[in-house]
Structure formats: structure tokens, C-alpha cells
Structure 1
């Protein structure tokens, strides 16, 4: 494909008098890991809702593989090859880990049961949960719930994966392990957009970073460029912090 995998042009979304996304434009290249960061309320999750069909934009265009996807429902967008996770994992708590993946493979990807079983086993191995396949989802730790949420999204066989708040609720020791799983997913040929408000997490995983602030694109560049951007530091910590640290 010659053009970008995902193209967003002049995207705007309002909720009453609040502008959640404000004239936002950016592209996502095939096979990259794009980090999307910003303070709480910057518009990151709203953007995911717009891309995945859970919300409709007030104006602007979203293209995936050069096809306009504005107005399509979540189930239609999944079939095109976009899958996502959520800030709060949403598994079937009374099903086992394996059963959760089986449901996702059968009803998300439309696989027959035999093929769905094979796919579920493959994904369990990728996310390193094979030893907990027969555990009920309600008995998992937050770290394993994050893995299960990721696995359910992968069962849809996406070429673009939207990962929302990858580090939320995880300990300092658990975060690197989950980032390694994301790298394995990327090595499978999946393009990834990771939403996160913790700068250090994004710096370890992303090839390129976009910073949102009040629904607008504040900055864009390589992780090391963003880490030393005064506008970004000011958005996160305020003017006083920037002046003091300088």
C-alpha cells in the first residue's frame, strides 16, 4: 500500500460545549508503533472511540486503507481490520481465559469452532497465558486481565491494533513484561497505536509519538525529541516545573 494505513484529517468531536477533539490531523504508517500521549482529558480515548466506531465525528475524515470509515459501526470496522482494547478490561468474567478467546475468534473473526480453537491456542502462546487457559477470567490479576484484553482483540486478526492505557493498574515490574508482549504482536506484522498518559511507558515502546493537549496536536516526533520538548513538559507539569528544571 502506497499511502498511510490510517489517515485522520481535520477531525473534530464535541460533547455539548466541550471540544474533545479539535481539528486533528495525522497519519499512521503500516508496521509502526505510534504512541499517543497527553494529560488526562486530552482526548486520547475519545480519538480511539472515533476510529473504532463507538462515536461519530462532528466533522473531518477518517480513512483506513484509503477507505472512508466515518459512520461505520464497531462491528463493521472490526471486519475491516481494526481492533481495540479498553481502559477497563471487559472479559466474560465467568468464562475461562480460553473460552473468552474462543468466543472472540468465533464471533469476532467468524471462524468455525475447530479453527477458532487453533487460533485461541496460538494467541494464548503469543500473550504468554497458556498456563492460565483454564482459569476463570474473574480470578486473574490486573496484569493478566490486560493480557486477556489484548488477546481478545488479537482474535479478530487485526492489521491495526488500538491499545488503550496499557500500563493502567500495573506495577513497575509488570509493565516491561506487557510491553514485551506488545513487541511480539508488532513482530507479527500488526501496526499498533498505544494510548498512554505515562511518558516513560511510551518512550520504551513507540517509534513515533503524538502529544494531544485539549484535543489538539501539541507535538509530534521521535520519542527522544518529545522527551525534551518544553511544550510537552509544560502541558504535563505546568510552567513552573519547566522554568525550575531549566
Structure 2
């Protein structure tokens, strides 16, 4: 079974790239391959001029590729601070003393400093999404992979999350963002790719891609 085929996507430093497509298009599989969670059966992944195709998740994480998941995966028995501290120590290059300050700084960047000592299990959905981003940021990524991070949020919560992501962009972090909440995605990204049946259907300026008849048909067809 072929899930992705003929994908050739480049990301510039500091760029925000959006990935959309109907269910089953291969979007999350693409993030799995970029993050190292899955290895492609053919082709390669290059990061900063280096072939990282066979690097596992932990090595890519230490090398500068961070990822948040569609369903947040915190250590529920730990506080928000402890979750980020673990990521800072294990995924980053910080010694424990420096990692403690780094973890607090990351929580502040993600609007979570006030919840630092709360158990992860007691956080709201928005707070868990913020914590998921903070854990990825604790590893000091040059590229941040976001998997449907706006899913399930209210419009007001989405606005808050977008403000955080825009600040990360301002800090120079490149972003690859898969999202079904299209209006949120379009407020952040520079370029948009639409996948359908494992292939690139359209790529380019976001509004142009969303108005492409092939993209409209792919979405209408998936909704029918």
C-alpha cells in the first residue's frame, strides 16, 4: 500500500508551510517521516544539508526538528514544568541547572508560566496544546512540526494559539503545520501545499491554492 508518492517539498529557514488535504491524504504520515517516527520505503529527508533519512526521532529532535502531536501526549503524573524540563534535558543540549531556567523560559513563551506547577492532567485542552508546543520548543528546534494543533479549540482559544505561533515565527523558527482549521492556518503561513491520495495536488500562495479547482474538488469530494 502506497501512502505517499512523489513528494518533493523544500522548506526555507524561518518559513511557515501549511499542509492541507482531505482525510486519508497522507498528511500525518508526512509528519511522521519528517520527524523520524516512520522511515520512507524510498526517497530521502535532508535537513541543513545532511541526509537524516535513517535518523530516529530522538536524534532528529536533538538535531533541531521538534514536533507536537494532534492529541497532546504529556506525562499526566507530572506538572507542566516537569514535562518541559524532561524535554529540555533529554531532547535538548542543556545541563540540568540551565535546563531548569530554559524550561521556565519556554513555558513563558507559550503562555504557560502561570500553570507551571499544575499537574498536566488538570490542564484545559488549550493549555495541553500549549504544553505540547512547549515540550517541542524545549528541544531548541530550528523546525517545528505542528499536527492539527487548533483542532477542538474555540475561536477565541484559536486566536490565542495563533498569537503564540506567530511569535515563534518572529523568533525565526520554521514551521510545518498540518491543519483542518483552514482559517487559522491561513493567518500564519507563507506557502500552502495540498495533498490528495498521497500526492501533491497543489502548492504555492495560500489563497491561490485554496481556490484551485482541483483543491476545491478534493474537499467537496471528501465531504460528499
Which residue does the alignment assign to 2:77? 94
- Find the residue that maps to 1:23 and give its secondary structure: coil
For structure 2, list consecutive stretches of 5 or more residues without a partner in the other structure: none
Q: Deviations over 1:160-212 (max 9, x none)?
A: 11011121121122111101101111111110100112322221111100000
For structure 1, list consecutive stretches of 5 or more residues without a partner in the other structure: 1-16, 242-246
Which residue does the alignment assign to 2:171? 188
**Alpha-carbon offset, residue 239 of structure 1:** 9.7
The normalised TM-score by structure 2 is 0.96
Alignment partner of 1:174 is 2:152: no
The normalised TM-score by structure 1 is 0.88
Q: Deviations over 1:129-176 (max 9, x none)?
A: 111111100001111100000000000000011011121121122111
Which residue does the alignment assign to 1:4? none
Q: Which has the greater radius of gyration?
A: 1
Which residue does the alignment assign to 1:85? 68
Provide the C-alpha distance between the structure 2 equivalents of 1:119 and 1:178, rounded to a whole number of angstroms: 21
1:114 to 78, 92, 97: 97
Q: For the structure 1 residues 240 and 162, does the alpha-carbon distance in structure 2 shift closer, same or farther, using more than 3 Å as the test?
A: closer
Which residue does the alignment assign to 1:131? 114
Provide the C-alpha distance between the structure 2 equivalents of 1:168 and 1:240, rounded to a whole number of angstroms: 18
Q: Which runs of 4+ in 1 moved over 2 A?
A: 238-241
Which residue does the alignment assign to 1:145? 128
**How many pairs were matched up?**
224
1:36 to 19, 30, 55: 19
Q: For the structure 1 residues 35 and 172, does the alpha-carbon distance in structure 2 shift closer, same or farther, using more than 3 Å as the test?
A: same
Provide the C-alpha distance between the structure 1 equivalents of 2:190 and 2:111, rounded to a whole number of angstroms: 24
Provide the C-alpha distance between the structure 2 equivalents of 1:118 and 1:187, rounded to a whole number of angstroms: 22
Higher relative contact order (CA closer than 8 Å, sequence separation 6+): 2
Q: For the aligned residues, what is the CA RMSD?
A: 1.5
